[in-house]
Structure 1
Amino acid sequence: MTNKGAREEILRLFRQREEEFVSGEELSQSLGVSRTAVWKQIKLLRDLGYVIEAVPSRGYRLATAPDTLIPAEIQSGLGTRLIGREVVYFEETDSTNVRAHELGESAAPDGTVVIAEHQVAGKGRRGRQWVSPPGVNLYTSVLLRPDIFPRFATQLTFVSAVAVARAIEDVTDLKPRVKWPNDILIGGKKTAGLLNEMSAETESINYVILGIGVNLNMSSGQFPSDLRYPATSVALEQGAPVSRLDFARALLRRLDHYYLLFLEQGFSQVISDWENLCDLMGMTVEVDCQDRIIRGRAEGIDEDGALLLRLPDGMRERVLAGDVRPV
């Protein structure tokens, strides 16, 4: 067993026996290693910030845990039906979407989650970089294998947007809003972004990746000075840090709920929730489509995820991509 696997097994046993001591002998047998090897793993966990009590003749007990995102912690009490049954963790990687693509090409199951403490090449929309400092935010990608036609894959962007907004509500008193096509705002400032990618054939999907980055505990000094859109973090908006572990669990539970709702009942309930979270519906907006700017009244979203605009001449236009802002 690897060091990583041994640490996660020890944490799993601690979580199963909350507040109780676990003997060194039991840990040794469960891991299939010597008592000395168990002690080394306990030391490694302590080095990661875990406070573990050791009492002769009784064993070890987990007293307090740091705000880490390792699989054993995320899956403890998670209770989802699909999302997060498998969690792949990286202390550092280039991009969780890249790692999820690799898993998608293998036999990784529907609902596999990739999480990283730090991304050195986080991916944003239109080839932009998603700034990803270590230890403060949530960077995750979820691998899905939905039995839907490729044209409907864009609907999953709205699944992830609603899930992120509701998860923020679950762990704070904040009121996040969504902005078409894939941003989550707090107080009008961007706090999360989504980047969904797909591998598909003409009539079927191999897999879809929901890439999600949420600014949880970033300080104002950690944001780049050249951002195109005002940005913030949950901590800045509520005036206190948020537990990344609590948020990760809340997000996976919300994703599980909305993804299964989408598969079982279709897009209508998801888009209804999304529109309830969007302040731009009914407002006059401008959409920057790079080659032109379109102005009109936002009237809703169609089944392809296109923004429906009522133009000044009364015609309706479907906008498939662009940056939207109120006028």
Structure 2
Amino acid sequence: MESTRNRLIHLLNENEGYQSGQDLSEKLSISRTAVWKHMKELEKDGYQIEAVQRKGYRIVSSPDKISENTLQWGLKTEWMAKQMHHFEEVTSTQDVAHQLAKQGKPHGTVVIADQQLKGKGRMERPWDSPKGKGIWMSVLLRPKLLPIQAPQLTLLAATVLAEVIEQQTGLKPQIKWPNDILLEHKKMAGILTEMQAEQDQIQYVVLGMGLNVNQKLEDIPEALRHKATSLLVETDEEWGIQEMIQAILTQFEKTYDRFIEEGFQHIKQTWENYGYKIGEEVEISTLRKSWKATLLGIEPDGALRAKDQDGKEEKLYSAEIHWGEGGYHA
């Protein structure tokens, strides 16, 4: 259920002119006094609101700072982020999203933080999440999919991030299997998918996304500078985090809806279009052996397809990949 505040923001956003307190009162089924109180709360959040007698209200400008209200302003989605939870600081957005999932929060609920104290990536690796420098976000999904299909959501999210980065910046990122977004061979975004499921049914998925946006080189820990980057480092330009978040949420909804309606094929094609070193030779190590192979693409279950030097194809679910010059281990 969308909050009254969010509905008010959307009503004001739809109409560039004034909207009377009476009209807003009727559309939102609240009193005119309640409308006025909501306006005062928006002003506290940094919105500049013009109120003219016998005309009504209009928003003149919205603040630069990130909040639930500013993220809702101008966001035109059907189900994504109708419930938005913004925090200045959390241990990790994944932890908060799991708590909200257990409280029964709906599909599309979003958790965003300015800073994570214990951000995490795959295999519990720490993810550096400095205040106000990037996008630290988790999305709660309740997909009607089999648990075996859950890896497709990670691949879907990777294509969303890659497409948004390209649309917003003009740079073409690459997706390193299974879930890293690279620019100039360095990681600038990662995805962490965690699932609660029964044998034949997903209860919920928490899909975390971390993007390095406005870190300067000196903001990146020294030990990571050879393999991590940000949009600012790569473009020498600061980027609007709020606009980037809205673009990701909008693109995610669109891609997810198409995936549910049409299946995985278009995700696979898009992923392979951005795939890192697809068609190139790498060295692969598993517990049993090490060998050179050419990467071919991905399978619908998230496996990486590779062909060895004898022409034999193999599906990889877990492997250490030596990406060669410019890359780093999976």
- Look up the match of 2:298: 301
Is 2:87 the partner of 1:90? yes
Mapping for residues 238-277 of structure 1, pairs under 5 Å: 238-277=235-274
- Look up the match of 1:45: 45
CA RMSD of the aligned region, Å?
3.1
Q: Hey, what's the Cα distance between the residues in 2 that align with 1:33 and 1:73?
A: 18
On the 8 A contact 1:68/1:244 being kept in 2, the answer is no
- Look up the match of 1:78: 75
Deviations 1:245-269 (A, max 9, x none): 1111110111112111111111111
Match of 2:172 among 140, 157, 175: 175
Q: How far did 1:53 drift? A: 6.4
> SS at 1:91's partner residue?
strand
Deviations 1:186-244 (A, max 9, x none): 12211100001101111111111111001111111111122286111112212211111
- Look up the match of 1:161: 158
Q: State the one-letter code of the partner of 2:318.
A: A
Q: Hey, what's the Cα distance between the residues in 2 that align with 1:11 and 1:82?
A: 16
- Look up the match of 1:32: 34
Deviations 1:54-111 (A, max 9, x none): 7896997654434333222222332223322222211211111111111222221112
Gaps of 5+ in 1: none
Q: Hey, what's the Cα distance between the residues in 2 that align with 1:319 and 1:31?
A: 61
Q: How far did 1:298 drift? A: 0.6
Q: How far did 1:293 drift? A: 4.7
On the 8 A contact 1:171/1:246 being kept in 2, the answer is no
> SS at 1:117's partner residue?
strand
- Look up the match of 2:327: none
Q: Hey, what's the Cα distance between the residues in 2 that align with 1:133 and 1:20?
A: 39
Normalising by the residue count of structure 2, what TM-score does the alignment of the two structures yield? 0.83
Identity of aligned residues (%): 35
> SS at 1:32's partner residue?
helix
Deviates more, 1:208-217 or 1:307-316: 307-316
Deviates more, 1:205-214 or 1:64-73: 64-73
Q: Hey, what's the Cα distance between the residues in 2 that align with 1:138 and 1:67?
A: 15
Q: State the one-letter code of the partner of 2:187.
A: K
> SS at 2:206's partner residue?
strand
Normalising by the residue count of structure 1, what TM-score does the alignment of the two structures yield? 0.84
> SS at 2:137's partner residue?
strand
Gaps of 5+ in 2: 325-330
> SS at 2:139's partner residue?
strand
